[in-house]
Amino acid sequence: MPSFDIVSKTDVHEVDNAIAGVRREIETRFDFKGSKCTVERTENEIVLLADDATKLEQMQELLRVYVTRRKLDAAALDFSAKPERAAGDALRHAVTIKQGIAQDLAKTIVKGIKDSKMKVQVSIQGDELRVTGKKRDDLQDAIALVKRLGIEQPLQYQNFRD
């Protein structure tokens, strides 16, 4: 039976390259001279440390720009956490790199496909989804439907088998 997988993976090596670009930009820009602004990555989290709120916003924008330049989707970064106070007047903001499909998002996708009455089966397998059907055209219709659902997390469609 034809099948494919819906996954959400972000290439952390490209994220590291984007972070290196942000660091170079911070070192050379005039408005960051003499500041103690840093960018660090640990596992699936990027920590931005800035002197004030203005510099933090500029660093967030730089991160989005450099991630996009590396051909990644900026929606893979979750800026929803509130910036917290660090030493002195500095601000620390933890940005999460989205990896895998969360259970609630997976259930939303499954519900959307089942409500469309398509002749495909969807199963949740850990942090990814497997879609199977009798015809290849049904699978292509399922991909089009998932794209129309308007999910803010970047999704990839892999492992397409006949």
Q: At what angle do helices 12-28 and 53-69 cross, to 10 degrees?
A: 130
The rounded percent of the chain whose pLDDT value lies above 70 is: 100
Model pLDDT, residue 56:
93
The length of the chain in residues reads 162
Task: Give me 153's structure tokens.
Answer: 């997390």
How high is the mean pLDDT of the chain? 92
End-to-end Cα separation, the chain, in angstroms = 6
Q: Find the mean pLDDT for residues 18-24.
A: 95
CATH topology agreement for domains 1-6+98-159 and 10-95 = yes
Q: pLDDT-derived band of residue 139, with 50, 70 and 90 as boundaries?
A: very high
- pLDDT exceeds 90 at position 1: no
The token duo for 114 is 């089942």
* Alpha helices (H) in 1-135, listed in sequence order: 12-28, 53-69, 103-115
**Predicted local distance difference test score (pLDDT) of residue 86:** 85
pLDDT, one tens digit per residue, over 42-100 is: 989 999 999 999 999 999 999 999 999 999 999 999 999 899 998 888 999 999 999 99
pTM higher than 0.85 for the full model? Answer: no
Residue from 24, 21, 11 nearest 63 by CA: 21
Phi, psi of 130 (to 5 degrees): -115, 125
pLDDT at 34 over 90: no
CATH number among 3.30.230.70, 3.30.70.990, 3.40.50.2000, 3.40.630.10, domain 10-95: 3.30.70.990
Q: What is the pLDDT of residue 84?
A: 93
Q: What is the pLDDT of residue 12?
A: 92
pLDDT of residue 107: 93
Measured torsion, CA atoms of residues 125, 99, 132, 110, in degrees rounded to the nearest 10: 80
Question: Does position 121 have pLDDT exceeding 90, yes or no?
Answer: yes
- Residue boundaries of the structural domains of the chain: 1-6+98-159, 10-95
Is CATH 3.30.70.860 the right assignment for the domain spanning 1-6+98-159? Answer: yes
| Mean pLDDT in residue range 121-140 | 93
Q: How far apart are CA 103 and CA 128, in angstroms?
A: 9
pLDDT reported for residue 11: 92
Q: Which helix H or strand E contains 93, and what residues bound it? A: strand 91-97
pLDDT of residue 28: 93
Whole-angstrom distance, CA of residue 18 vs CA of residue 22: 6
